[in-house]
Structure 1
Amino acid sequence: MLRFPLSSFSDGFSTPLPTLPPIGWQILAVAVWLGLIGLLAEGLRRSGGSAEAVRKVVHMGTGNVILLAWWLDMPAWMGISASILFGIITLLSYRFPILPGLNSVGRKSFGTFFYAVSIGALTAAFWQTAPYYAVMGILIMVWGDGLAALIGQRWGNHPYKLWGMQKSWEGSLTMFGMSYIVSILLLMGIHGNLWQLWLISLIIAATATALEAFSKLGVDNLTVPIGSAIVAFWLNQALLV
């Protein structure tokens, strides 16, 4: 048991610190991380940041909690339960002003809800046996899709239209590059530096970029992570086994 020494006090007694079970510390770690992201987003909002910038800070910050969950070896049921709860909250927020900072993007979008669904689906599918596929899919969505939107809006000087939606080459190239980096780093950590990994990562990045190009109603928050994870799983089974 952890104890805080009180020898400096005149009574000389020692008082034990409160103890938590492992799951309690896991929940506390996640809560602290999400609290820091919330403070950062609120600070950005108060300093005059755009609604889209605030939304992307939350999008990227909360998504990275998957790394914390992986490091702490959190059970799958926690991730699935959290995604269900957050999914319900986001559905309610489309009717009530619960999450105005996340849903005020200037267009009709269910991206926040799809975000929750994708995390729950990937956790249910891969967490018990191959969690790195879930991590890969979510991080591709977090870093690829998140930075693609920010860079595309800020420096997207070469637009193109696809299925009636306007994108930019700058944003799509960012999506491709970040998806490739996430894929190769995770795969190298699992299998080692094999030539197949470079090819697999290229295919994953191309798939994620193509899926992100179709983002009507925010559906890319569902198709990008799930599609990337499935392609990664299938290619690894086909080329590395």
Structure 2
Amino acid sequence: MGENIMYVLYADIMGFKDRVMRTQHQNLEKEFNALITDLDAWFSPNKKAQTFKVSFFSDSILVVDEDTEKGFNRISKAAAGLMQVSLEHKFPLKGVISKENFTYKEVNQLFFGRALVDAYLLQEQIHYYGIVAHHSIEGDIKKYANGWKEKDNGNRKGINPYILSPIPLKSGNITHYHLAYNLISEKRETGKNVDKTHKRIISWLEQISGTVSGNPRIYVDKTLQVLREDLSMFKEHKKKNNGEIKFPLSNE
């Protein structure tokens, strides 16, 4: 049988079981429907591509797309929207983008392959609300993160803010590429209105922090740290390079 290499984004909603136990079923259904409605709005441009697929099951979200430059851009933008919208609706999550063999058959609910296993296992290690890149897509991040130039006007499209820096895993801070989702505006533009976007995300995290105690607050604290470091690195690179930014960013 031939290879069926795809990008896979697997994300897990944090605290979902506790939320089910303490929220009236009808209210939770309304909250979840509102989340899905806003996610559909963010995903809308991506859905023009037949290869872009999204599935929700219980506390997990699965997004897949083809192994191309455009597929990389779509799944990266989807990941940024997934983080922003979920935090706004107080459904914080963590997830991983990977690339390997994968079968996605929506009609008979058949989803399996190494890409999903890789994403799931790394997702289990993440200790903040964010999207981490599995090593299987690191080469593509280096090739595709800075986007492409449009032939007709020379404008750069498809830029995605990946950063290489230490991030919180359960075993400690370990250097990984991750998506700096606070550097993408609500209009899906990378590097635009970053202060506004950052402040909005911080306000959502503060609201989430006000609803939890103990371990869940560790996730909030570590997320705030990563977002602030990402914003700081972006501004430092922008200043150092006279306003020009080339992703992915790192301090190496």
Given the two structures, how large is their TM-score scaled by the length of structure 2? 0.34
Given the two structures, how large is their TM-score scaled by the length of structure 1? 0.35
Computing the radius of gyration from Cα coordinates, the structure with the larger value is: 1
